[in-house]
A and B are shown apart, each in its own frame.
Chain A
Amino acid sequence: MRLFQSLWSRITWLIKRTKAEADLDDELKDYIARQTEQNIAHGDSPEAARRKAMQHAGGVEQLKEKCRDAHGTAWFENTWQDMRYAWRTLRKNRAFAAAAISTLALGIGANTALFNVINGVVFRPLPYRAPNQLVDVEQIQRTGEFWSFSYPDYVDCARQNTSFQSIAAWRNQGANLTSPGEPEFLYIRMVSASFLDVLGVNPILGRNFTTQEDRRGAAPVAIVDYSLWQQRFAGRSDVIGKRMVLNGKGYTVIGVLPAGFRFLDEHAVLTSIGQNNDSFIQQRDLHTGIQAIARLKPGLELAKANAELGVVADRLARAYPDTDSKLTFRAIPLKEQLIGDVDRTLFLLGGAVGLVLLIACVNVANLFLARSVGRHREFAVRAALGASRSRIISQLLTESLLLSLLGGAAGLAIAAGGTHWAIAHLPHWLPRTDDIAIDWRVLLFSLGASILSGVAFGIAPGLHQRFDLEAALRQRGRGTTGGIQRLQGAFVIAELALAFVLLAGAGLMLRTLLQLWGVSPGFDPHNLLTVTVGLRPGDMATPKSIRNGWQQTLDRVVNAPGVEAASLDSVLPLSGDSQMIGYWMNGVAQPPKDMANAFLFTPTPGYLKAMQIPLLRGRFFTDRDRLGAEPVLLLDDALAHKLFPGSDPIGKELSLQFLGRVRIIGVVGSIKHRTLDEDAYSPPQGAIYLPLMQFPDPFMSLTATGMNLLIRTSMNPNLAAGAIKKSIIGPARDAPVRDVFTMEQRIGDSMSQRRGIALLLAIFAAVALGLAAIGIYSVISYAMSRRVQEIGIRMALGARSQQVLGLVLTQAARTIGVGVVVGIAASAAVTRLLSKLLFGVSPADPLTFAGVILSLCVIALFAVYFPARRASRTDPSIALRHE
């Protein structure tokens, strides 16, 4: 009740303010009158008595102000007053306001945009039901290395587990959709019946898979995604029960996914994994990229789930020692798995963009400082009229907050547009970009950033403001400049140091990219086109027809205009995909647990010519290395050295998983498989090459889901692409093609994260450099304008303009030097954070640092030179009269 009463009294005071002011006036008048009377009674003259009474009160206006404060309404009233005053002041100084607001909009906008991304990728919950219960389940080597599930291991893991409400396996594959409509190569996902249940998603039309449909031999059924439903079935509701043909096999459509549903990347169709008849899926020792997601039981800790997974893995290891003794399971939060280590990178970029905002604040603080000097008299008068020091500082803060809020609002608009532009135009490396949207967290962030920057740049000039009434009034508007120069010197140093850190970061990333481009991938990526291709519908029936189909595809490509050589391959190097095969030495088959693994490529005879990989020993495949001939393989240089150090591998045999004994007929040069910098992290794993056309029948069927073509062109591959694509599709236009990229584009994509970071850092550094140059320019211009008289005197006494210029430049150079030294120290401490992203350069790379020092000094001196030159050319007679 007290609170209410007090609030009520405040409000009535506000309403009756005019009356209250009159009351206060009368009350104090009464006091003065009585005191005067008493003084007269003590023998003073009437005038002296009155004067004494006023003195005793200590200034009537100040006393009134104190009484108003006592009512507690002062804060509200003052702020309102300050706001209106600030608004008027800014309207009168439009150029100043525009400069400050646009600088702040840039700084706050860049920060809000990046926070928008961080929020969408890292902070926002996954767009599924109760997303905190979702985990990613993996089958891994006991050494910790990732290893996908084999289907039998998944089934056992799912059946024996009690930690999960539900668990589901999924596996991506390419598929050739041949009906309804034109053939098209698309990506589909084989999933357990429980997949949508785990995520908490329901089909908008039709139904989910049943467990009966998730069994071997069940009738093939499919759930299509929203866009496929629209495109292929015209969005008709009678789609349920319709037939579609994938990889030559008929599926019945049983459901349609909601629009916008997405799990990892886009997939047009879900089919049931258990229904798959391929024999490979029943092999316990074949790990073909099956992954799993699960929903933890409510309240169950992840550690408990992991402990139970360990128990299950131990049980499997005892039951199937040959295949499972070196494997175990692991569950991690699904969000963590989707984000990977991107959060670290984003926070790093967040730090960088924060530095840009700091520089922007320093610039605006400098504007404020210069302006506040000109307002000395204004504040002196206000102080004389009863304003306290804190009252004037709060006035200044109100002005700066008003500016920063306006800047923040403009920044929010920039961020809203800029984020989407950046996601669309920067190298694609972020997960979860669909989840990036402005929400309350982003709004709160930009509000917080605005207020913080408003306080940051408002407080420095505010505290610097002097309240020496008499001095200020006497100075005719010219403040003592010593303190301001020191503060502005500090501003220049701070700006240079901050810009240095950003330039050093951007420089190191650019050097890393240059180093990476300099790494030879082991093949020639120029004039090399890559295409993902599917079989024609009629070729998918039997292993024999598949083999023939691929041969025909290859023949069509080789005869296309502009093609020098071409090869099929199951996996493209540096594409992010890889394929492994297990082997044993000396041609003696042993349990799967004792096998070693190598990268597997399955090319055709034109491979070396297409890729320009050197043949080091022996021979490469020919058309005679087909099914029925002696099984042969080639090793790459790395594997040959690892397995046969100092001896010739030609003619020796390896025993391969599922394939048995195979003779080594040659050695080829090693290439990079996953990334250009992979050797920096682990020793080369080595690769085995098997001739595609020698694949036994069961494995040939696997290739029906799509292959890649590597095509060496005699001209710019982008120009040749059209004709090549046409020849692949064939006269009947029924062989689907997708992902036509040059190898150089693919290599660029393999560096997309680093390119994205480098580009953003370069943008931040450029903005920082620009802001710092503007800041230094305005500091020096201002300092020169304060020194016009001094320079005039020097020149009147005989100094030549070059001497004056030299003097100013030397003085500025000292400050710039300090800024650069602070920048070096700060960068040396900070660039270490980048070290995981760097390649071939140390975080303290002398070349980068030297480049940054040079460019920063040149730009800073330019920013100093122009105002200094202008000052040195002043006419002394004008300068001396200048005020």
Chain B
Amino acid sequence: MSKPADLVQGTLDLLVLKILALEPMHGWAIGERLKQMSKDILQVGPGSLYPALHKLEQAGWIEAEWSVNEANRRVKFYSITKAGRKRLQEEAADWKRLSGAISSIVFET
């Protein structure tokens, strides 16, 4: 189970925004998609994921919509907002710069 500390601070937000930018989905699916896309390297438990989702929703970067599934359970679908897309671009650019900088130091020969 990865805790937020295992991911670089703030990167969980970036990853969630990226995943939701592809298509709206519910919380469990976001965790699964993250695992699948990172080829099982990145895993995030509900203890980190759900608070992060609520925080992003609070900030207005993602929004939620409720629907009812075939088992008559209420399901909360998250989708990215316009502000969220802008935020994603900024964070992605930051990440590129930061990871590039770290790589250039760590892999310096």
Contacts and interface: CB of A to CB of B under 8 A. Distances in A.
B83 to A, nearest CB: 9
A69 B1 contact: no
A57 B58 contact: no
Interface of A: 2, 5-6, 9, 23, 26-31, 33-35, 56-58, 62-63, 66-67, 69-72
Interface SS, A side? helix
Residue among B26, B51, B52 having the largest count of chain A Cβ atoms under 10 Å: B51
A69 B59 CA distance: 13
B76 A58 contact: no
B46 A30 contact: no
A26 B76 CA distance: 8
Nearest to B3: A58
Contacts of B46: 28, 31, 56-58, 63
Given A23-B76, A56-B1, A31 B28 contact: yes
10 contacts: A2-B60, A30-B76, A31-B27, A31-B46, A56-B1, A57-B45, A66-B47, A70-B55, A71-B54, A71-B58
Contacts of A34: 28
Interface string B56-100: 001110000010000101111000000000000000000000000
Contact of A70 (B28, B45, B51, B74): B51
Given A56-B1, A71-B58, A27 B27 contact: yes
Is the interface on chain B under 10, 10 to 19, 20 to 34, or 35 or more residues?
A: 20 to 34
Nearest to A72: B58
A13 to B, nearest CB: 8
Contacts of B58: 6, 9, 70-72
A57 B28 contact: no
Interface of B: 1, 26-28, 45-47, 50-52, 54-55, 58-60, 66, 71, 73-76
Nearest to A20: B54
Nearest to A26: B74
A5 B81 CA distance: 15
Nearest to B45: A56
A27 B26 CA distance: 9
Contacts, number: 64
The 7 closest A-B CB pairs, nearest first, are A70-B54, A70-B55, A34-B28, A66-B51, A26-B74, A70-B51, A58-B47
A71 B59 CA distance: 9
Contacts of A23: 66, 74, 76
A30 B55 contact: no
Given A56-B1, A56-B45, A66 B50 contact: yes
A9 B56 CA distance: 12
A58 B75 contact: no
Contact of A57 (B26, B47, B74, B75): B47
A35 B28 contact: yes
B50 to A, nearest CB: 5
A19 to B, nearest CB: 11
Given A35-B28, A69-B51, A70-B55, A30 B74 contact: yes
Given A67-B50, A71-B58, 15 more contacts: A9-B58, A23-B76, A26-B76, A28-B46, A30-B27, A30-B28, A30-B74, A30-B75, A31-B46, A34-B28, A56-B46, A57-B45, A63-B51, A70-B55, A71-B54
A31 B27 CA distance: 7
Contacts of B45: 56-58
B50 A63 contact: yes
Nearest to A57: B46
Contacts of A30: 26-28, 73-76
Contacts of A66: 47, 50-51
Contacts of A35: 28
A6 B45 CA distance: 27
Nearest to B28: A34
A66 B71 CA distance: 28
A67 B75 CA distance: 17
B76 to A, nearest CB: 5
Contacts of B75: 30
A6 B51 CA distance: 17
A34 B33 CA distance: 14
Nearest to A34: B28
A26 B46 CA distance: 14
A70 B60 CA distance: 13
B26 to A, nearest CB: 7
B9 to A, nearest CB: 16
B60 A5 contact: yes
Contacts of B28: 30-31, 34-35
A9 B57 CA distance: 10
A28 B50 contact: yes
Contacts of B60: 2, 5-6, 9
A686 to B, nearest CB: 82
A38 B26 CA distance: 15
A67 B76 contact: no
B75 to A, nearest CB: 5
A386 to B, nearest CB: 13
A26 B52 CA distance: 17
Contacts of B54: 67, 70-71
A142 B68 CA distance: 96
A63 B46 CA distance: 8
Contacts of A26: 73-74, 76
Nearest to A56: B45
A837 B52 CA distance: 65
A62 B54 CA distance: 15
Contacts of B50: 27-28, 31, 63, 66-67
A58 B48 CA distance: 10
Nearest to B83: A2
Contacts of B51: 63, 66-67, 69-70
B57 to A, nearest CB: 8
Contacts of A28: 46, 50
Given A5-B60, A70-B54, A33 B73 contact: yes
Contacts of A57: 45-47
Contacts of A2: 60
Contacts of A58: 45-47
Nearest to B54: A70
Contacts of B52: 70
A18 B16 CA distance: 27
A27 B46 CA distance: 11
Nearest to B49: A31
A336 B50 CA distance: 64
A570 B76 CA distance: 98
A56 B49 CA distance: 12
Nearest to B56: A70
A26 B75 CA distance: 7
A31 B29 CA distance: 9
A23 B60 CA distance: 18
A60 to B, nearest CB: 9
Given A70-B58, A71-B58, A27 B47 contact: no
Contacts of A69: 51
B29 to A, nearest CB: 8
A289 to B, nearest CB: 74
A27 B27 CA distance: 8
B27 to A, nearest CB: 6
Contacts of A31: 27-28, 46, 50
A58 B46 CA distance: 8
A67 B58 CA distance: 11
A46 to B, nearest CB: 15
A2 B76 CA distance: 24
Contacts of B74: 23, 26-27, 30
A61 to B, nearest CB: 12
A10 to B, nearest CB: 8
Contacts of B59: 6
A66 B52 CA distance: 9
Contacts of B66: 23
B69 to A, nearest CB: 8
A401 to B, nearest CB: 28
